[in-house]
Structure 1
Amino acid sequence: MATLLETEAVLKRGLKALAEADPVMAGLVADGVTPKLRKRPPGFEGLAWIIVGQQVSTASAAAIWGRLRMILDPPSPESFLSLSDEELRTAGLSAMKVRTIRATATAIVEGSLPLDRLHELPADEAHNILTQVKGIGPWTADIYLLFCLGHPDAFPGGDLAVQEAARIAYGLDVRPDARALADLAERWRPWRGVAAKVLWAYYRVAKAREGSPVT
């Protein structure tokens, strides 16, 4: 596996490799579409934060997480499992998110989800381990691998912004689904995570040119 995405030097290595492998990526990078290096804490806290933030606004996610942090001391699998569903719902978690984070915490405690070793594994293998946990889907797994672990080859092909950016950048008639985008992304290995970051950056540029709001 390539070095983790923890420094600007590694990000630049990835961008250079993508430009050499794919003329479209080369054009985007040459036009100044370069992503920022962004990373969240790894481990249970980072994964729980991603689950909390699903399908809610950034402000709502921050508010819910702030309330959770007040009752999670420390924010660990054990402390989460010690709380009742009622306490967690009062903090703002939906019943589905309570179940997902509880299943995640249980898997960590029981040893079936080795979060401390996922960065050592190929992206696809780490992805499969994460999605074995009930409630963790492909998007959640890939976002955790990319933004919490800095895995350079994690690829959230189900992300709508990444799909739309690929449609525009590659001149496709329709927005590619996760499977079609996964096929396209094969040329970017082992830097698919960097390619995803480029496409997110390009999405913001493309929407700004169209005058559309970026969500």
Structure 2
Amino acid sequence: MATLLETDAVLKRGLKALAEADPVMARLAAEGVTPQLRKRPPGFEGLAWIVLGQQVSTASATAIWGRLRAILEPATPEVFLRLSDESLRAAGLSAGKVRTLRALATEIIEGRLPLDGLGDIPADEAHGLLMRVKGIGPWTADVYLLFCLGHPDAFPSGDLAVQEAARLAYGLEQRPDAKALKALAESWRPWRGVAAKVLWAYYRVAKAREGAPA
């Protein structure tokens, strides 16, 4: 597997490989589309943050996380399981997110999910292990692998911004669904994660040109 996305040097190596493999990626690079590393802490804390951020605004997720961290010290699976449902709901977690995080904490403690070691195995295999946790969906799994572990081949094919960026960059008539985008991404292995970052960056550029919020 390629080296984890932990330095700008690795990111640049991935960008070079993509440009050599795909003329569209080469064009985006020539236009100055530059992605950022944006790595978050790995482990239970990082994945819990992603779960909390699902379907809420960044401001709301930040507020909920702040209240949770006030009672979750240290932020470990063991401490989380000791918290009552009442205290978690008071912090702002929905019943569904409480169930997901309890399932996640249990899987980690019982050794069925080697969370910190997922960056050392192929992205598809790591994705499958995360998806076995009830409540963890494809997007959450891929975002954790990419933004917390820096897995260079994790690819969130279901992300709407990535799909729309691909439509614009490749001149497609319709926005590709997750299956179509995953097929398109095959030529980007083992740097699909870098390609996703390029497409997110291009999406922001495209929306800025349109005068719309990114």
Structure 1 position 90 matched with structure 2 position 73: no
Within 5 A, what are the aligned runs for 1:67-146?
67-146=67-146
Residue 204 of structure 1 is matched in structure 2 by: 204
Give the counterpart letter for 2:16 in structure 1: K
Shift of 1:128: 0.2
How many Å apart are 1:117 and its aligned residue? 1.3
| Cα distance in 1, alignment partners of residues 100 and 10 from structure 2 | 33
Measure, in 1, the Cα distance between the counterparts of 2:28 and 2:117: 34
1:153, distance to aligned residue in structure 2 (A): 0.2
CA–CA distance in 1 between the matches of 2:202 and 2:85?
A: 41
Hey, what's the Cα distance between the residues in 2 that align with 1:116 and 1:205? 33
For residue 69 of structure 1, report the CA deviation from its aligned partner: 0.4
d(CA) in 2 for partners of 1:10 and 1:189?
Answer: 15
Q: In structure 2, give the amino acid aligned to 1:38.
A: R
Q: Secondary structure at the match of 1:116?
A: helix
Deviation by residue 1:137-182 (Cα, 9 ceiling, x = unmatched): 0000000000000000000000000000000000000000000000
- The one-letter amino acid of 2:96's match is M
State how far apart, in whole Å, the 1-side matches of 2:196 and 2:160 are.
11
Q: TM-score by structure 1 length?
A: 0.99
Q: Which residue of 1 aligns with 2:154?
A: 154
Aligned amino acid, residue 119 of structure 1: G
Q: Equivalent residue for 2:16?
A: 16
Unpaired segments ≥5 residues, structure 2: none
Return the letter of the residue paired with 2:172. Answer: L
The Cα shift of 1:37 comes to 1.3
Structure 2 length-normalised TM: 0.99
2:170 and 2:49 map into 1 onto residues whose CA distance is 33
* Structure 1 stretches of 4+ moved >6 Å: none
Kindly state the Cα deviation for residue 54 of structure 1 after the two structures are TM-superposed.
Answer: 0.6
The code of the aligned residue for 2:4 comes to L
Report what 1:50 is aligned to: 50
Query: What is aligned with 1:2?
Result: 2
User: Distance between the aligned counterparts of 1:120 and 1:196, measured in 2?
Assistant: 19
Deviations 1:56-79 (A, max 9, x none): 111110000000000001000001
- After superposition, the C-alpha distances for 1:35-62 in whole angstroms (9 at most, x for unaligned) are 0111000000000000001111111100
| Percentage of pairs with the same residue | 81
Tell me, in whole angstroms, the C-alpha distance in 1 between the residues paired with 2:136 and 2:35.
Answer: 26
- How much is the aligned-residue C-alpha RMSD, in angstroms? 0.5
* Aligned mates of 2:181, 2:54 — CA distance in 1: 22
Deviation at 1:213, TM superposition (A): 1.4
**Which letter maps to 2:180?**
A
State the alpha-carbon separation in 1 of the partners of residues 41 and 213 from structure 2.
29
Matched residue, 1:37: 37
Residue identity opposite 2:80 in structure 1: F
Q: Give, as a single letter, the amino acid of the residue that structure 2 aligns with 1:153.
A: D
Q: CA shift at 1:211, angstroms?
A: 1.2
Is there any run of 5+ residues in structure 1 with no aligned partner, and where?
A: none
Alignment of 1:160-171 (within 5 A): 160-171=160-171
Q: Partner of 2:11: helix, strand, or coil?
A: helix
Deviation at residue 21 of structure 1 after TM alignment: 0.2
